Amino acid sequence: MDAAAGSPLGWLCAGVTILLGVTVLCRAQRSPLGKAKVLLWSLPAAWLCAATLGAAGGLGVFVAVCLLCSLCPGDSDLLPVGDRAVLITGSDTGIGHALAKYLDSLGFVVFAGVLNKDGPGAEELRRSCSQRLSVLQLDVTSTTQVKEAYLTVSEKVQNAGLWGVVNNAGILGFPADGELLPMSTYRHCMEVNFFGAVEVSKTFLPLLRKSQGRLVNMSSMADAMSNNLVNFHKGGIPLPRYAAYGASKAALSMFSGVMRQELSKWGIKVMAIHPSGFRTGIEGTAEQWDKQEKELMENLPADTRQAYGEEYLLGLRNYLLHLPSHCAPDLSPVLGAVLHALLARTPQGLYTPGKGAYIPLCIFCCFPLWFYDFFISKMLRADSVPRELRTSGDEGKNL
């Protein structure tokens, strides 16, 4: 059998068997992170078994693990909703807006924090949701508004405490090369995506302590899996043009991991949600793009502007225009992940809803960094090349 394993037929059988196992695993009702972790641990186990039991034994173990994971979808035992109260930030649009409606329909007492309590998003929530839902004026970068929201919520929940806080408020900023982004973009992303979530968490923790509730932080695949895969890579999954956004979300991811460890002694569970590729409107409006693009152009040094060229700089807006077309409009995987985080008796520390999360994660964890960089460069191929690189390339061809 060992000889057969080394023959072309043996390698063909091995390839087919591994393909079968991966296919079964991909079809399993598990999160992308769960699938990736199975691959990370089952492949070395398969090779180890192959060394002791032979090729057939190793491949058999691999397929068995994949089948077992496909039959065990994880914890589905949810607590009853009852009169549990949840605060959601950033409920004007996108995930926060959909989540507020979804949890209200399930019977939660929802406190929907919005940036503009008189805006269309807030009005839609008042019109379409039950009287259990309260709309709160809550700019997470305003200490005054955060404290006022805390007083309002604590007065309504009283001794019952607050069951959940979902830090969803976030901004994308103008996607551009990190060298091009003005420092104000980095600061603004950190203020909203990180410092805002930290202040909301710290302010409402006394209410979560009363109920031994849940803290859920909405992060992003742009900073990826630094919490649960820290043993493999100390950092996040980088994506071009998201230096400011990714850095702020990576900070939030690390904050979530540390708080998960520290708050467990109080009975508070902390989860991070890393959605990938969903159409949420976080990219903003054309008016906001004009303002951000103007700020970017005004702060560019002359030599940097010359190196990149006007064509490349103007092409950044085209990237924003096409961004929604690559995102899934159905937010139900994200809503389901948040619900599981809020009600599961043993929630996961990290959720990665979205079909796009699985492949980049596996490549980042299982392959050298140069291969991941190559993969991302091909997946996110730029429409244009900086002027200086284009000119040098043309000169090289002429030589």
CA dist 274 and 322 (Å) reads 22
Identity at 46, one-letter amino acid code: A
Q: 137: which strand partners?
A: 114
What Rg, from alpha-carbon coordinates, does the chain have?
24
Buried b (16+ CB within 10 A) or exposed e, 64-78: ebbeebbeeeeeeee
CA dist 297 and 127 (Å) reads 41
Reported as type and span, the H/E element at residue 350 is strand 350-351
Contacts of 24 (CB under 8 A, 6+ apart): 63, 66, 67, 70
From the list 341, 258, 363, 302, the residue with the least C-alpha distance to 75 is 341
Q: DSSP letter string over 288-345?
A: HHHHHHHHHHHT--HHHHHHH-HHHHHHHHHHHHHTGGGSBS--HHHHHHHHHHHHBS
C-beta separation of 28 from 73 below 8 A: yes
User: Which residues are annotated as catalytic?
Assistant: 245
Contacts of 162 (CB under 8 A, 6+ apart): 85, 86, 87, 153, 154, 204, 207, 208, 210, 211, 213
